[in-house]
Amino acid sequence: MIIDCHGHFTTVPKSFRAFRERQVAAANDPANAPSLAEAHVSDDEIREGIEGGQLRLQQERGSDLTLFSPIAGLMSHHLGNERTSLEWAAISNDLVKRVTEMYPGNFVPVGMLPQSPGVSPANSIPELRRIVEMGFVGVNVNPDPTGGYWTGKPFTDREWYPLFEAMCALDVPGMVHVAASCNPNFHGTGAHYINADTSVFMQILQSDLFKDFPTLRLVIPHGGGAVPYHWGRYRGMSLEMRDRPLEGLLDNIFFDTCVYHLPGVELLTKVIPADNVLFGSEMIGAVRGRDPNTGEYFDDTKRYVDALPLSAEDKAKIFEGNARRVYPGLDKLLKSRGL
């Protein structure tokens, strides 16, 4: 089985995005806010978005199952207020759940949290518990709800600890994933995403996070930002700053293959052990076009993994085994299906 650990419902209908715009516009004027019923997406609209998008490409490219979450950019934690974030997270998670109920053999739900700038991460715990009870196997955690201004405390600050405690208690991993950038200095997917992946890894390197939470599992997407490609820099810093081997972090940190060229994926798998790499594509996401040199889609990352000079055992880990190990809820679900 080939499991894609990184998928988003980027093909939602325009009406869903329009609801979000009206909701944010009326964030401080509840009397004129749109009703939650206006966010409803019909089954036909879901079919149109999924069957013409992610499902079609999943079948064409040869993967089997996608861990599916709300659109990362549309999480927009910097917009609105705590109330609108609570509503938006619930609406978005419920929509993803409907997709996975309509296509249970193709998609498994991963949720978003109702984060807001200046609001304690602990306030997201009720929604985390709700979605886990609904069968969600993971959650996206935004280390910068300000949308690119990074005015909050580091991801390793103790204000995050209640959320991490809940994730460990529920045995739910987190994908460290920012949302849209509202800072014009940082393009959302080209800079802000990669900056965040790299910054959070460095914050963890400087901390005792996994000493305090030895069972916490975090997936750093987009190939880990700059991390695998500057591994020597971080190894040296870890030894100088913390007097510990950097490799110890690999008990808790994992990276996906959302790197859109073969040399990048090759380097990722040369530096990072196969046990810590999960297949991911984030298809119909940051890069949707074709490489003019090959005619193939940039985000068809399965082709890159197929081409790697790895053993069949290591490729099986990347394509399936690691996802089942990092996401125990997924493994339990698949075993219940006899898979």
Residues 6+ away with beta carbon under 8 Å from 19 = 34, 38, 39
- CA nearest neighbour of 274 among 238, 308, 241: 308
> Could you give the 3-state DSSP secondary structure of residue 219?
strand
Catalytic residue from among 282, 296, 313, 320:
282
Give the separation between CA 18 and CA 38, rounded to whole angstroms: 10
The string of DSSP letters for 79-142 reads SS-HHHHHHHHHHHHHHHHHHHHHSTTTEEEEE-----TTS-GGGGHHHHHHHHHTT--EEEE-
Annotated active-site residue 48? The verdict is no
Q: Where are the beta strands (DSSP E) in the chain?
A: 3-8, 65-69, 107-111, 138-141, 174-176, 218-220, 253-256, 277-278
The answer for 148, left when phi > 0, alpha when psi is -120 to 50, beta otherwise, is: left
One-letter amino acid for residue 76 of the chain: S
Give the separation between CA 59 and CA 57, rounded to whole angstroms: 5
**Residues acting as catalytic residues:** 282
